[in-house]
Amino acid sequence: MDPIAYERTPKDWAAFVRLAHRRLRGAPFAIMMGFVTCGFIAITRFLDPEGVHLPAMLATTGLYVFAVLLYASLSSGRHVKPGGSVLGKRSIRLDAQGVEDTGAHNKVLFAWSGITDVTRSKDLVVLWSDPAAGVFIPVRDFASEAEITTFVAFATERAAAARGTG
């Protein structure tokens, strides 16, 4: 395939972080929140055996969890800088050997066997190399919907074949 030039912005990074969080959270996140809630109820019952303050304490716990998740999502952009190794102008090339993603300060090479999944969201096409890591390309930088479809199909077929699942 011909190389595709693209540019990552802080908004693209935030969209990628949301996708990665969504992939990671699933059942383990719900289970973890269940344990936190049960632990909090146990502590509350110990500190307040009559149960007088239980509703207020549960509401406070819910607000705390919401605040932590909100802060995490809003602060995700602080960890990358414009013109660094993640954001900015880049180029991606797919060939028979794998994926080559090149930026101003780095070149990342993935063999097809290192690509575990290929997904497309409203904003991004992602070639996942780990549950929460991968190469992400904004859909706005593809020439057409047909180019996106071809890109995703090519990457999916090559990665599956390399893993022996295709």
CA distances in angstroms from 155 to 1, 86, 122, 139, 147, listed in the order given: 10, 21, 18, 15, 12
How many angstroms separate the CA atoms of 63 and 43, rounded? 17
Model pTM above 0.85: no
Q: Tell me, what's the pLDDT at 79? A: 66
How many angstroms separate the CA atoms of 103 and 47, rounded? 55
Q: Tell me, what's the pLDDT at 19? A: 84
Q: Are 136 and 121 in contact (CB under 8 A)?
A: no
pLDDT one-digit tens code per residue, 27-46: 556 667 677 777 777 777 77
pLDDT one-digit tens code per residue, 127-151: 999 888 899 999 999 999 999 999 9
Count of Cβ atoms closer than 10 Å to residue 45 Cβ: 13
Name the nearest CA neighbour of 92 among 107, 113, 111, 105.
107
Taking residues 72-98, what's their average pLDDT? 77
Q: Are 147 and 92 in contact (CB under 8 A)?
A: no
Name the nearest CA neighbour of 69 among 3, 27, 18, 103.
18
Domains of the chain: 10-79 (no CATH), 81-163 (2.30.29)
β-bridge mates for residue 119, sequence order: 126
Q: Are 137 and 125 in contact (CB under 8 A)?
A: yes
CA distances in angstroms from 153 to 53, 78, 106, listed in the order given: 56, 33, 26
Look up tokens 């912005």; give the residue.
Answer: 9
Banded pLDDT at 86 (limits 50, 70, 90): confident
Name the nearest CA neighbour of 90 among 31, 5, 10, 25.
5
